[in-house]
């Protein structure tokens, strides 16, 4: 009966003429284009709330560069727009430069006038994910899962010391070879291998010219873009 009724209604000439759909068709989600350079596109996100640490922290602010996969993190006591804006300036812009595009979710901490004004004044174009589609910021979301899983293997039973391990886990991630690029984020960001505590120091110091160093960095980035 339902099928017959539906067919009858759909066949109504008057309904087709006057009861038209006045809403536009929903556009399809588009894939994010591969960035052409370091800091061309970065993603930011809050992880948490997680169990409060002894230092009073309940969130992790995360920033990832879409080309190099380099990650920047900070433990925070809240997830306000002021905290996000301060992190963007102090931990990202003043240490690495201004990103061309800044991709975030549509949470209140990223959509307030404070955060928007700071990003705009610094010259970063703020773009947001589609509502209810966190996969739009997939690289950052994937790193969040990796970060939480890694920290979870070190924390105490009360999970109150997780922020003590945050910088160590982040450094371990940045100096590990990524499956997609087959290179370490640290190497792509700085153009050289990280010197690790257990590395044997070289007996001979070889100084290369600035031009050689830059040419090597360009080759790294071109290789990374071809695999992105």
Question: Model's pTM, two decimal places?
Answer: 0.72
pLDDT, average across residues 161-170: 91
Contact 103, 42 (CB under 8 A): yes
Residue 202 DSSP one-character state: P
pLDDT in tens, 91-137: 999 999 898 888 888 788 888 888 888 888 888 888 877 766 666 66
**Dist CA 120 CA 102 (whole Å):** 10
Residue 160, pLDDT score: 87
> With b meaning 16 or more CB within 10 Å and e meaning fewer, what string describes 40-65?
ebbbbbbbbebebbeeebbbbbbbbb
What pairing do the DSSP bridges indicate for beta strands 71-76 and 59-65?
Answer: antiparallel
CATH H-level, domain 41-190: superfamily: Ribonuclease H-like superfamily/Ribonuclease H (3.30.420.10)
pLDDT in tens, 198-214: 777 666 555 555 566 66
pLDDT in tens, 48-88: 899 999 999 999 999 999 888 999 999 999 988 889 999 99
Query: How is residue 189 written in tokens?
Result: 């960001």
Residue 226, pLDDT score: 62
SS3 for 43?
Answer: strand
């Amino acid at each position: 009966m339902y099928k017959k009724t539906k067919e009858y209604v759909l066949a109504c000439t008057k309904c087709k003429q006057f009861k038209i759909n006045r809403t536009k068709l929903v556009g399809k989600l588009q894939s994010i284009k591969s960035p052409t350079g370091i800091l061309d596109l970065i993603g930011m996100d809050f992880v948490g709330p997680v169990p409060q640490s002894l230092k009073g922290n309940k969130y992790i602010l995360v920033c990832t560069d879409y080309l190099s996969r380099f990650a920047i993190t900070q433990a925070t006591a809240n997830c306000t727009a002021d905290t996000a804006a301060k992190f963007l300036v102090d931990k990202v812009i003043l240490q690495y430069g201004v990103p061309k595009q800044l991709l975030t979710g549509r949470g209140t901490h990223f959509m307030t006038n404070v955060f928007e004004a700071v990003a705009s004044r610094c010259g970063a174009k703020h773009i947001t994910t589609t509502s209810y589609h966190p996969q739009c910021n997939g690289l950052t979301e994937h790193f969040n899962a990796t970060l939480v899983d890694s920290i979870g293997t070190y924390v105490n039973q009360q999970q109150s010391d997780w922020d003590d391990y945050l910088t160590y886990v982040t450094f371990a991630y940045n100096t590990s070879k990524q499956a997609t690029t087959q290179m370490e984020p640290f190497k792509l960001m700085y153009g050289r291998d990280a010197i690790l505590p257990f590395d044997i120091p070289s007996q001979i110091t070889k100084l290369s010219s600035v031009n050689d160093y830059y040419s090597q960095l360009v080759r790294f980035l071109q290789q990374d873009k071809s695999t992105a």
